[in-house]
Structure 1
Amino acid sequence: MASISRACRIRNPAVFVCDIQEKFAKAIYEFPKVVTTTTKILRATNPLSIPIYVTTQNREKLGPVVSALQPHLTGPNVRADIDKTLFSMITPEIDALLPVPSKGETPIDAVIVGIETHICVTQTALDLLERGHRVYVLVDGVSSVNVEERGVALARLRDVGAIVTTSESILFEILGDASHQHFKTITGLVKETKEETKEALEKLSKI
């Protein structure tokens, strides 16, 4: 595994949207809050020109990405929209699109939202870390059917080098400076969604 620094500031963000599909809506703990957090992050990707990678798990049986997210999953920022049977998002198609740090290419800072925390999110994070990328798992943007699985998975991911953080923290880290040209846009988004963010954190921040 390539050597990575847990202390490094985010420099090359990419958003990974993992299997947020219609058929999971009634089964996943606090599913609507995962969707609202993901919506906030996706709304920030356009002004900040952040690449997006999207997957579904067996779309024919489990349905498409939820309708609330689909308006935010169009345009040039979407680098891949892949249906898969692998649990990890790092399918051969997505893997081929990512830089290769072992060849001197700049690693990505992968910001992961989606489900389930202990299965597809965990395996995606492990595959990205193994390839030398940095991984940020948004605590207010991931969940599982069983709430207890979340805490175990997030603790494990912290142990292996992933950063467990929040959607607001990651947006301000990407900005880095109040003089950023899109500061007003992103702070406006944060203010607009502050109640949804508060509710998501109340339910999902406990690890």
Structure 2
Amino acid sequence: MSLTRLGRLGQKSSVLFLCDMQEKFRHNIAFFPQIVSVASRILQAGKILELPVIVTEQYPKGLGPTVPELGTDGIKKYSKTCFSMLTPEVEQELQSFPERRTVILCGIETQACIMSTTLDLLEKGFDVHVVADACSSRSQVDRLIALSRIKQSGAFLTTGEGVILQLLQDFTHPKFKEVQKLIREPAPDSGLLSLFQSQNPLMT
């Protein structure tokens, strides 16, 4: 079985995508502070582990800049109007590190930009890991069904802490203690547990 189908994460094979976590969404997206907090943890770990980071903003003139608490100061922002993050500019950026074929995906909204980005990346042969506790929507129904649809399409669902530990792989990693500080406290509750009912399509 290929590494892609196993869904392994590697420090040298992964790129972090942060999608549209902007000011105008702050009061409309369910669990917005929590998903931004989880995404910020992953971003901090990504910086320590030297992962490339792609940040997009949906029509920033109308929807505002990326929220400061995400911690993306100094990182280039790619403006877009389409749902998918995979704009020509972003595709060109990805070509600068062709050995990285795994995308870790966080942001909003799950049924729109996260879904479209996932499908576009899968179609181009990327291995996609969608961080469920770092993605949300206005509607929790949309969030739930979109995560199920994303899984059906072949992406992997994971959590922020799961991503960070998979990137480290080993207690002896030279950056382990530095990264470990980021996950000493449990991640904030982003409402996922209430979505996991006995008939939840994510569980099938």
Q: Is the structural similarity TM-score above 0.5?
A: yes
Distance 1:205 1:107, change over 3 A: farther
> For structure 1, which runs of at least 5 residues remain unmatched after alignment?
none
> Does 2:40 match 1:39?
yes
Q: Write the mapping of 1:39-118 to structure 2, written as runs, cut at 5 A.
A: 39-69=40-70, 72-75=71-74, 78=75, 80-99=76-95, 105-118=98-111
What secondary structure sits across from 1:50 in the alignment? Answer: coil
Q: Write the mapping of 1:161-176 to structure 2, written as runs, cut at 5 A.
A: 161-176=154-169
Would you say the 8 A contact 2:55–2:78 is kept in 1? yes
How many residues are matched?
Answer: 194
Distance 1:93 1:174, change over 3 A: same
* 1:22 aligned partner: 23
- What do residues 20-65 of structure 1 show as CA deviations (whole Å, max 9, x unaligned)? 0000111111111111111111111121001110001000000000
Distance (Å, rounded) in 2 between the aligned partners of 1:159 and 1:62: 31
Distance (Å, rounded) in 1 between the aligned partners of 2:65 and 2:117: 19
- What do residues 139-188 of structure 1 show as CA deviations (whole Å, max 9, x unaligned)? 10000011100111111111111000001111110001111001111111
* 1:9 aligned partner: 8
Distance (Å, rounded) in 2 between the aligned partners of 1:184 and 1:174: 13
Would you say the 8 A contact 2:121–2:128 is kept in 1? yes
* 2:189 aligned partner: 199
The Cα shift of 1:99 comes to 3.7
* 1:136 aligned partner: 129
* 1:123 aligned partner: 116
Distance 1:87 1:36, change over 3 A: same
* 2:151 aligned partner: 158
Distance (Å, rounded) in 2 between the aligned partners of 1:205 and 1:17: 23
What's the TM-score, normalizing by structure 2? 0.88
Distance (Å, rounded) in 1 between the aligned partners of 2:36 and 2:117: 19
Would you say the 8 A contact 1:31–1:143 is kept in 2? yes
Distance (Å, rounded) in 2 between the aligned partners of 1:158 and 1:30: 21
Would you say the 8 A contact 2:38–2:188 is kept in 1? no
* Aligned partner letter, 1:152: I
> For structure 2, which runs of at least 5 residues remain unmatched after alignment?
197-201
What secondary structure sits across from 2:94 in the alignment? Answer: coil
* Aligned partner letter, 1:61: G
Distance 1:73 1:134, change over 3 A: same
* 1:148 aligned partner: 141
Would you say the 8 A contact 2:14–2:100 is kept in 1? no
> Does 2:183 match 1:190?
yes
Identity over aligned pairs, percent? 36
What's the TM-score, normalizing by structure 1? 0.86
